[in-house]
């Protein structure tokens, strides 16, 4: 078992349940089954652990977003695939997705450099910019577009998490809400 990963996994779980500062490093170490010093061997400070966890989780999401997105499909189908993948991942990794949101609306987010944020958003913005260039997506600032899409997804995810839906019902909601979003931006 990889202790470094075990620490991240446990930290995620506890941060989501209790919050960043209400989760002592000692508790993370104990529940991860490692010694106190081991945690600080891998992560020099608690902040570093939190930032590493965010980077790790965010990249896992990004990877999944673009899974099986063949470039041959139409822009709409590619976009729908990304949309669906994102919501699927969020539903299957609720704690992870919640953690990303929790982190993003916390002072820790300020520790990430603007460059890193820009770099992270770049591929998505390029994709959207292309959609505008080929006159499929309405002309508007890509930043605005990007934010609207992200918020929409966050909203759908929140709704899906608020109750227990059967899988087909859930699929139906995702399809219909995608149509709402797609109609809004095209």
Which residues form the interface with DNA (CB under 7 A)? Answer: 3-4, 21, 23-27, 33-38, 40-42, 44-47
What token pair was written down for 117? 């944020």
**Contact, 87 vs 174, CB < 8 A?**
yes
CB of 172 to a copy of itself, least distance (A): 11
* Dmax (CA) of the chain: 57
150 binds a copy of itself (CB under 8 A): yes
Nearer to DNA, 84 or 102 (CB): 102
Minimum distance, C-beta of residue 177 to a copy of itself, in the bound complex (Å):
8
> Rounded to whole angstroms, what are the CA distances from 151 to 40, 64, 166?
36, 19, 24
**In angstroms, what is the minimal distance from the CB of 102 to DNA?**
16
**Residue 6 CB-density burial (10 A; 0-12 exposed, 13-18 middle, 19+ buried):** middle
Q: Is 116 within 8 Å of 51 (Cβ atoms)?
A: no
CB 45 to DNA: min, Å: 4
Span from 52-60, 65-73, 124-132, 137-145 in contact with a copy of itself (CB under 8 A): 137-145
- Site residues for a copy of itself per CB under 8 A: 16-22, 98, 101-102, 104-108, 140-141, 143-144, 147-148, 150-152, 154-156, 158-159, 162, 173, 176-177, 180-181, 183-185
């Amino acid at each position: 078992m990889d202790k470094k990963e075990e620490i991240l996994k446990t930290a995620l779980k506890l941060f989501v349940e209790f919050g960043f500062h209400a989760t002592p490093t000692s508790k993370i170490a104990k529940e991860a089954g490692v010694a106190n010093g081991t945690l600080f061997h891998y992560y020099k400070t608690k902040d570093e652990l939190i930032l590493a966890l965010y980077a790790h989780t965010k990249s896992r999401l990004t990877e999944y977003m673009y899974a099986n997105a063949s470039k041959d499909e139409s822009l709409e189908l590619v976009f729908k695939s990304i949309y669906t993948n994102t919501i699927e991942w969020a539903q299957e990794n609720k704690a992870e997705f919640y953690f990303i949101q929790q982190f993003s609306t916390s002072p820790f987010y300020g520790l990430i450099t603007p460059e890193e944020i820009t770099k992270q958003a770049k591929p998505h913005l390029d994709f959207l910019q292309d959609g505008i260039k080929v006159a499929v997506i309405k002309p508007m600032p890509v930043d605005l577009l990007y934010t609207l899409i992200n918020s929409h997804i966050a909203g759908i995810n929140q709704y899906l998490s608020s109750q227990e839906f059967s899988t087909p019902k859930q699929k139906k909601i995702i399809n219909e809400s995608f149509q709402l979003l797609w109609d809004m931006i095209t």
